[in-house]
Amino acid sequence: MTIGVVGGGQLGRMLALAGIPLGQKFLFLDRSTDTPAGQIAPSLVGEFTDQKLLRALAARSEVLTFDWENVSLAGLRALGRATRIAPPLAALAMSQDRIAEKRLFTKLAIPTTRHLAVDSVPSLVRALRTVGLPGVLKTRRLGYDGKGQAVVRTIEEAWHGFEKLRGVPLIYEEFVPFDFEVSIIGARSRSGEIAIYPLNRNLHRDGILRLTRAPFGPAALQRRAAHHLRRVLEHFRYEGVLNVEFFVRRGKLIANETAPRVHNSGHWTIEGAATSQFENHLRAILGLPLGATTARGHAAMINLIGTLPARPLVLATPEAHWHDYGKEERPGRKVGHVTVLADSAQRRDAAARKLLRAIDPVALRAL
């Protein structure tokens, strides 16, 4: 069976590595063949909006999925009933629009930030008055890894942010002085089965995820996050893996955003969970029984940003696992990750600290 994947980045690469043992074949669509996924499976080369290519991909695949959420919704919608697409396009549409996302959170009784849409000076003024300062001005669409955002502490910063981002629909949100960030990943299969992973505790710097540690307690937080995630999965009669990110303030969860796909904060599941998020995404869209999502020990996932450190340096830690995405090194680019496993959270953190000292002193200081 061939799985068509729109996008051939590292998420596609790890999907293929998980799917090959399941007996799957893969066909990717991306702008070049020398993508992380294209190095291990065939690719169609062109724009994500190219209707002819999308149709060719659909014709050669039993099911279509995507490895990032900024793929062309219109392009996929135009395929109509030509192919089965999973996750559902309604979930993709929601995740592409921050206002729709917040509206859904509210509808499903999931606490989220106060916010207003901004598309003009009067609406900005209204937003500043209603939501107050400080806040964050963001593009409604196509934001990821901290791109398309401006933190607003003063009226002046609001005007600067508006000048920088205007021209596209925006959202103004309250700034949440959170204690820390978590995310939760779950899968829902075609049959309705749901499996949810332990909570991830995430550390971002400059909008980019640097470090995830899992499983993260306490149990009450896990239960509440899983409850929220389950509501989103059931709302869409979802197929595949979905991630929800939350701020945590004074023990309360405040939903920030969703990703209708495998997620960077779930990379630790490759070694750290009974079944990886990549395998469960595939099982879910193929209608196979889901694999166990229990943690196996305590994992820390460190993103490798810009450059890869020396392999022997990292692998000298016997429980470290290396993930090279096959990408050219470039500042700010995710080129790989390292996962370290231990049998206690304390030992995991000690090992992570030792690695961060060598790899990412910025994240180390924040830990």
* Contact residues: a second copy, CB under 8 A: 13, 17, 20-23, 25, 39-41, 274-275, 283, 288-292, 296-297, 308, 311-312, 315-316, 318-324, 326, 336, 341
Burial 238-253 (b: 16+ CB within 10 A, else e): bbbbbbbbbbbeeeeb
* CA pair distance 138, 151, nearest whole angstrom: 9
Nearer to a second copy, 97 or 349 (CB): 349
* CA pair distance 149, 143, nearest whole angstrom: 8
Burial 115-145 (b: 16+ CB within 10 A, else e): bbbbeeeeebeebbeebeeebbbbbbbebeb
Nearer to a second copy, 121 or 350 (CB): 350
Q: Least distance from C-beta 341 to a second copy, angstroms?
A: 7
Nearer to a second copy, 23 or 331 (CB): 23
* CA pair distance 128, 130, nearest whole angstrom: 6
Q: Least distance from C-beta 313 to a second copy, angstroms?
A: 9
Closest CA to 88 of 101, 76, 70, 97: 76
Pairing of strands 194-196, 208-214: unpaired
Nearer to a second copy, 88 or 326 (CB): 326
Q: Least distance from C-beta 131 to a second copy, angstroms?
A: 44
SS3 51: helix
Q: Least distance from C-beta 318 to a second copy, angstroms?
A: 4
Token pair for residue 125?
Answer: 């003024």
Cβ contacts of residue 273 below 8 Å, gap of 6+?
197, 198, 292, 293, 294, 295, 296
Q: Least distance from C-beta 34 to a second copy, angstroms?
A: 12
Nearer to a second copy, 23 or 122 (CB): 23
Nearer to a second copy, 256 or 280 (CB): 280
Nearer to a second copy, 189 or 258 (CB): 189
What does the angle CA 5 – CA 258 – CA 206 come to, to the nearest 5 degrees?
Answer: 100
Question: Which position has the token pair 């920030």?
Answer: 256
Token pair for residue 192?
Answer: 């309705």
**Number of neighbours of residue 214 by Cβ within 10 angstroms:** 27
Q: Least distance from C-beta 271 to a second copy, angstroms?
A: 8
Q: Least distance from C-beta 176 to a second copy, angstroms?
A: 35
Nearer to a second copy, 39 or 123 (CB): 39
Q: How many CA atoms lie less than 13 Å away from 334 in the CB half-sphere?
A: 22
Nearer to a second copy, 16 or 244 (CB): 16
Q: Least distance from C-beta 200 to a second copy, angstroms?
A: 20
What are the helix (H) ranges across 84-193? Answer: 89-95, 98-107, 121-131, 155-165
Nearer to a second copy, 274 or 358 (CB): 274
Report the Cα 309 to chain-centroid distance in Å. 24
Assess contact for 149 and 143: CB atoms under 8 A.
Answer: yes
Q: Least distance from C-beta 195 to a second copy, angstroms?
A: 8
Q: Least distance from C-beta 14 to a second copy, angstroms?
A: 8
